[in-house]
Amino acid sequence: MEKKILIVDDEAHIRMLIEQTLEELEDDGVEFFTAENGEQALELIQSEKPNMVFLDVMMPKMNGMEVCRRVKQELGLQEVFIIILTAKGQELDKQKGQEVGADVYMTKPFDPEALLIKAREVLGLDD
């Protein structure tokens, strides 16, 4: 079965960084999609049904928390694994992330190795 990862961040260099971090997963047949704002992300999640989403919080049009809330609560897509990536590491933010249904909360700057390990685990690509 085809695996899909959506990378959502309003900063192009961060999208690129995440994609480069995970590019070896392409050998396992993983397909990548990117979005630069929350609205675009929501559309892609509905049309592509990615297995996993790396979601920035601070974005134009719709923030990551709202995207996550809509995906998990309104659309009921529990199977979409959402990792919220944010520069804000406060406990309150983590709590909010959990409330909207985020599966994992990671703070920036993130550890590329940790990102890759998590992606492999979620997609069931453990060696």
Measured between alpha carbons, how far is 40 from 38 in angstroms, rounded to an integer? 5
pLDDT at 107: 87
Measured between alpha carbons, how far is 88 from 93 in angstroms, rounded to an integer? 7
Domains contained in the chain, CATH given: 3-111+119-123 (3.40.50.2300)
> The tokens 């599966």 sit on which residue?
103
User: Structure pTM?
Assistant: 0.94
Measured between alpha carbons, how far is 124 from 127 in angstroms, rounded to an integer? 9
**pLDDT tens track, the chain, 127 positions:** 689 999 999 999 999 999 999 999 999 999 999 999 999 999 999 999 999 999 999 999 999 999 999 999 999 999 999 999 988 777 888 889 899 999 999 988 889 999 999 999 999 997 5
pLDDT at 92: 83
pLDDT at 66: 97
* Pairing assessment for the beta strands 30-35 and 52-56 based on DSSP bridges: unpaired
Instruction: Output the six-digit token pair for 110.
Output: 């993130």
